[in-house]
Chain A
Amino acid sequence: MGPHPTGVPAARVPTARVPAAQAPIEADDRPTGPIPIVTPPGGPLPDVGPGPARPGLTADGIPKLTRRRDYRVLGGVAGGIADHLRVRVLWVRVAFVLLALLGGAGVLAYGLLWVFVPQASPDAPAPQPASPVERRQALGIAAVGVAILIVGAALGLGQTLGVVLGPLGLAAIGAAFIWREADDARRARWRRTAAGIVGPSRASLWRLIGGCVLVVGGLSVFALGQLDFTAVRSALLAVVLTLVGVAVITIPWWVRLVRDLGDERQARVRERERAEIAAHLHDSVLQTLALIQRQAGDSREVQRLARSQERQLRTWLYGPAGYAAGYGSTDSPAPVDQTFAASLAEAAGEVEDTYNKSVTPVIVGDAGMDQHLNALVAATREAMVNAAKHAQIEEISVYAEIEDGTASVFVRDRGIGFDPAVVGSDRRGLAESIRGRMERHGGTATVRSSPGNGTEIELTVPVTSGDAGEPVAEPARAGVRDEREDA
């Protein structure tokens, strides 16, 4: 493409608001001719304020880059860019002229834009019409540009600058490609970051100045190097300085890039968690709700399902070790089936499910399971089963603590109670499963009950693996006591 005498775009300048009556809306199909509308030059900027969700706007409310259909001087490119960037078209034209001085880059750019940028759709709101003054101004700029071009060519200036800016131009093209490939959200984010480059903070100002100094320094070293013919070294220096300068200027973008990667990874993790939760809720809660709907008539079954589901959900929600995690569990959480608290909670849950009674365990302290504690859990289970079967109540309290080398469990109900002295010898549960078991493990079983006053069964067993490193308590109190309580 030869140097076009008017390497200057010549779209019309929308510099002034025109009363609506004067704005010819039917101008769509007009040929590019002089538009006889007079408005004062140098008026306010074209009113292209963000209209929410107007067609022809980007996600940010900026007009899309299109060539102007009306009021153009040449191809409508400069006017379109001015609309898009919301600057006065004068500056766009000046920029094209300056670029044209760099080996004709401006002319090339104008031509490419003319080819590739689509023309504004006929339905798009017509831009503000330009005045003849603006038109004359545009032609004036073009004339000045041509003059400078000729002078520059005579001095060989254009070529030098062109050589220097060639790589930068390539980089700009690359950046443009990245920009085009990015989706809207990402572009909006980049724009915000770009605003940060020239942000109001002092640090960013100094960063910008420093970067510019480095870039200019690099370019001047290059220019001097050309003059001094010490090519290689100064060229390297120039390249390094330029690159450092560009890097400094674009720090926010790099930071953003790294952060984007981190964000993406986090988003993936979150997505996986979400999927896990959804899967769990589906497998448990939704299934239970479906069951409950089917059995709506059977209130006992509904109650049982609801209780069991609540317990499962709580266990799942509040940590890996279920109802209670031991001290120091943050370092190495013991497996669920190996802590006393978890085993006891599990046993309570089973009884709750089987007999449809509410069992509320309160557990203070915890320890790893051993055979004694296993026996204690089994005996507790038996005590809970007894209460559920015989006490004729809906609620059983279970309190367990591990303190001073002893594990104690209290199973209490407010049911009908019984007289421990007159329990038939055929009742193997209390004798064998509870007392016998506790005795064999060096513990005690105490039954407090009287007819009408409920029952409390106290079970204790020495703990070897106390969580405070307690010494092994001697199995001193082995034996069975019965207490009649006359409350």
Chain B
Amino acid sequence: MNEPVTVFVVDDHALFRTGVKAELAGLGDDRIAVVGEAGSVGEAVVRITSDPPNVVLLDVHMPDGGGRAVLEQVHAKLPDVVFLALSVSDAAEDVIAVIRAGARGYVTKTISGRELADAVVRVSAGDAVFSPRLAGFVLDAFSDRGGPAPVTDPELDLLSPREREVLKLLARGYAYKEIAAQLFISIKTVETHVSSVLRKTQKSNRYELSRWASDRRLV
């Protein structure tokens, strides 16, 4: 990797922004460089638009619409900027909402600096980053419990058995490498499956994805 991945931190808590910056800088990781930060939706939109970074670390909960508002205002204009959601929330509706608004991954704020750096590099390379909890949410959303859901677009509304397997291993806390070893496939194939799941989560019109989150509140 020649040039470091530029990272922009959006969070309404200054303390947290400082913490993330310090932690990423403290790693001495020359793969990433924090180039800016913003404390509000408006500020984030202006700064990201004026000087687009590679990856935006996006807080889910902020005043004025939260991370979702930033995504909605920036994502269509700058499709090359990758968003990674970062939250303490863990409420299914919040997580699914930012994923569907265009974020390429979701990690919790308790993540270690090393893991966060890895996740940033991974999303910037085009992969998706699923925390075990997000994998659980998605599995739940695509399950057939409560009677088979009406499938209008099988391409988008159903997960393939392999994708399901990968997702389950993710939910069990496996790393990509471990999943690849377990399923006897390459890491690249695991990444392809996860990206496909992400696309389906973002594009599918399954009832569960839009409504399920508000019906049942998962932590």
Contacts and interface: CB of A to CB of B under 8 A. Distances in A.
Interface in B134-163: 135-136, 139-140, 143-147
Given A399-B172, A412-B173, A487-B181, A318 B219 contact: yes
B197 to A, nearest CB: 14
A330 interface: yes
Contacts of A403: 143
Interface stretch (B67-75, B188-196, B210-218): B210-218
Contacts of A363: 136, 218
B147 A330 contact: no
A315 B219 CA distance: 8
Interface residues of A, number: 30
B86 to A, nearest CB: 16
Nearest to A326: B216
Contact of B144 (A314, A317, A328, A468): A468
B93 to A, nearest CB: 10
B91 interface: yes
A364 B91 contact: no
Nearest to B91: A318
Nearest to B140: A364
Nearest to B218: A324
- Chain B facing A: main interface SS: loop
Contact of A318 (B136, B172, B215, B217): B217
B200 interface: no
B146 A325 contact: no
Residue picked from A319, A399, A467, A468, most chain B C-beta under 10 Å: A399
A98 interface: no
Nearest to A408: B168
A362 B147 CA distance: 22
B171 interface: yes
B100 interface: no
Residue picked from B146, B172, B215, most chain A C-beta under 10 Å: B172
Contact of B172 (A326, A330, A397): A397
A323 B219 contact: yes
A222 interface: no
A325 B133 contact: no
B132 A467 contact: no
Contact of B218 (A325, A397, A401, A410): A325
Interface string A410-425: 1010000000000000
Given A317-B219, A324-B216, A364-B136, 16 more contacts: A314-B90, A324-B218, A325-B217, A328-B146, A358-B110, A360-B132, A362-B132, A364-B143, A365-B140, A397-B172, A399-B172, A399-B173, A412-B173, A467-B146, A468-B145, A487-B178
Interface string A459-487: 00000000110000000000000000001
A326 B178 CA distance: 31
Contacts of A468: 144-147
Residue picked from A314, A326, A327, A487, most chain B C-beta under 10 Å: A327
A327 B146 contact: yes
A327 B145 contact: yes
A319 B219 CA distance: 9
Contacts of A226: none
A181 B110 CA distance: 57
Contact of B168 (A315, A399, A487): A399
Contacts of B146: 327-328, 467-468
Nearest to A466: B145
Nearest to A448: B182
Residue picked from B133, B136, B147, most chain A C-beta under 10 Å: B136
B155 to A, nearest CB: 23
Nearest to A396: B173
A160 interface: no
Contacts of A326: 216
B217 A362 contact: no
B219 A364 contact: no
B216 A327 contact: yes
13 contacts: A318-B218, A327-B145, A330-B215, A330-B216, A362-B135, A362-B171, A363-B136, A364-B139, A365-B140, A365-B145, A399-B132, A403-B143, A412-B173
A397 B219 contact: no
A370 B219 CA distance: 23
Interface in A300-332: 314-315, 317-319, 322-330
Shortest beta-carbon contacts, A-B, top 10: A397-B173, A362-B136, A319-B217, A399-B172, A327-B146, A318-B217, A318-B219, A410-B172, A325-B216, A399-B171
A64 B24 CA distance: 64
A412 B175 CA distance: 12
A360 B134 CA distance: 12
B208 to A, nearest CB: 10
Interface in A123-179: none
A352 interface: no
A456 interface: yes
A206 B193 CA distance: 66
Interface in A348-377: 358, 360, 362-365
A330 B212 CA distance: 11
A286 B145 CA distance: 40
Interface in A379-425: 397, 399, 401, 403, 410, 412
B9 to A, nearest CB: 23
B106 to A, nearest CB: 13
A467 B147 CA distance: 9
Given A325-B217, A468-B146, A399 B136 contact: yes
A291 B136 CA distance: 34
B95 to A, nearest CB: 12
Given A318-B91, A327-B146, A399-B136, A456 B216 contact: no
B145 A401 contact: no
A308 to B, nearest CB: 15
A330 B133 CA distance: 22
Contact of A412 (B133, B172, B181, B218): B172
B145 A362 contact: no
A401 B181 contact: no
A483 B175 CA distance: 20
Given A330-B216, A487-B178, A397 B132 contact: yes
A245 B145 CA distance: 60
A323 B218 CA distance: 6
A324 B145 contact: no
Interface string B113-138: 00000000000000000001101100
